[in-house]
Structure 1
Amino acid sequence: MKTLITLALCLLLVSCNDKKPTGPLPFFHFDEIDYYHIGISEEEATEMSIKQDKTRKEQALLQIINGNVPVNTRDTLFINNMDILRFEKHDIDPKFNPQFADLFRVRENVKPEAVSCISVYRDVLVFRQKDKVVGVAKICFDCGTDEIVGSRYDTSTFGEGGDYEKLEALLKQAK
Structure 2
Amino acid sequence: MKKKYFLIAVITIILFGCNNSKKEDIKYEKVVEKEFHPFFDSDEIDHYYVNYTLKNVLDFIDKDRTSKRNKEFSDLFMGYYPNSIPKKDFVKTLLSYGYKKSKLTIRQQKEVENVFSAKDSLQMSAYACVAEYRDIFIFKKKKKTIGIAKICFKCGRFQIVGSKLETEGFGLWSDLKKLHNIVRPNEKKT
**How would you bin the TM-score normalised by the shorter chain?**
0.7 to 0.9
Structure 2: gaps of 5 or more residues = 1-33, 186-190
* Structure-2 change in CA distance of 1:132 and 1:78 (3 Å): closer
Distance 1:161 1:36, change over 3 A: closer
Partner Cα distance (2:79, 2:122) in 1: 26
- Is 2:74 the partner of 1:59? no
Q: TM-score, normalised by structure 2?
A: 0.72
Distance in 1, matches of 2:182 and 2:163, equals 21
Q: For 2:87 and 2:169, locate their aligned partners in 1 and report how far apart those are by CA, in whole Å.
A: 24
Residue 102 of structure 2 corresponds to: 90
- SS across alignment from 2:110: helix
Asked if 1:155 is matched to 2:147, the reply is: no
Partner of 1:19: none
Q: Which has the higher contact order (CA 8 A, sep 6+)?
A: 1
Structure-2 residue corresponding to 1:26 = 38
Q: Which amino acid aligns with 2:142?
A: K
Gaps of at least 5 residues in structure 1 are 1-21
When the two chains are superposed, the root-mean-square deviation of aligned CA atoms in Å is 2.2
1:51 and 1:139 mapped to 2: Cα distance? 26
Question: Normalization by structure 1: what TM-score?
Answer: 0.77
Measure, in 1, the Cα distance between the counterparts of 2:38 and 2:137.
Answer: 15
Contact 1:31/1:94, CA 8 A, preserved across alignment: no
- Aligned pairs (5 A) from 1:41-80: 41-80=53-92
Superposition deviation, residue 160 in structure 1: 1.2
Mapped pair 1:38 → 2:50: yes
Aligned partners of 1:125, 1:168: CA distance in 2, in Å? 12
Identity of aligned residues (%): 26
Aligned to 2:142: 130
C-alpha distance in 2 between matches for 1:140 and 1:161: 11
SS across alignment from 2:139: strand
Change (3 A) 1:95 1:76: farther
Q: How far is 1:23 from its partner?
A: 2.5
Give the counterpart letter for 1:130 in structure 2: K
**Distance in structure 2 (CA, Å) of the matches to 1:110 and 1:94:** 28
